[in-house]
């Protein structure tokens, strides 16, 4: 699992680096760096359980917010007929930006949960 975590670390570092031109990089760079650090620590067998739980809780809470807010994931699916999320990388529509951000949080939740479950088994 060390190699999986090294790949996840590299991916989250890349994700953080790509946020420099995002409308809210002050939020997304720390989220992705947090996930990168957690995966790097997990690769060494040193990811603290509270760190993983805190990251999951934050990402889950923010994902729930993005799911239910106006112009969030539900609006994207219902009011905007699940409009193509990758038609252009410049998100001019808030429901597309919020849905993409929701996806990023799901990736982070998946990586952190993977490490929490893996850590619990040892």
Q: What is the pLDDT of residues 92-118, one digit of tens each?
A: 788 778 888 999 999 999 999 999 999
9: tokens are 């670390």
38-83 pLDDT, tens digit per residue, is 999 999 999 999 999 999 999 999 999 999 999 888 888 888 777 7
Compute the radius of gyration of the chain from its Cα atoms.
Answer: 15
pLDDT-based confidence at residue 89 (cuts at 50, 70, 90): low
Lowest mean pLDDT among 28-32, 33-37, 52-56, 99-103: 99-103
DSSP codes of every residue in 44-66: TT---HHHHHHHHHHHHHHHHHH
pTM reported for the whole predicted model? 0.90
């Amino acid at each position: 699992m060390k190699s999986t975590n090294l790949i996840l670390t590299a991916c989250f570092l890349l994700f953080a680096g790509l946020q420099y031109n995002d409308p809210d990089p002050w939020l997304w760079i720390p989220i992705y760096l947090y996930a990168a650090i957690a995966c790097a620590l997990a690769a060494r067998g040193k990811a603290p359980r509270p760190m993983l739980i805190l990251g999951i809780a934050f990402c889950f809470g923010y994902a729930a917010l993005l799911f239910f807010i106006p112009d969030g994931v539900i609006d994207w699916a219902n009011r905007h007929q699940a409009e193509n999320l990758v038609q252009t990388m410049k998100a001019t529509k808030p429901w597309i930006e919020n849905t993409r951000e929701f996806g990023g949080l799901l990736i982070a939740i998946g990586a952190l949960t993977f490490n929490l479950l893996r850590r619990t088994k040892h």
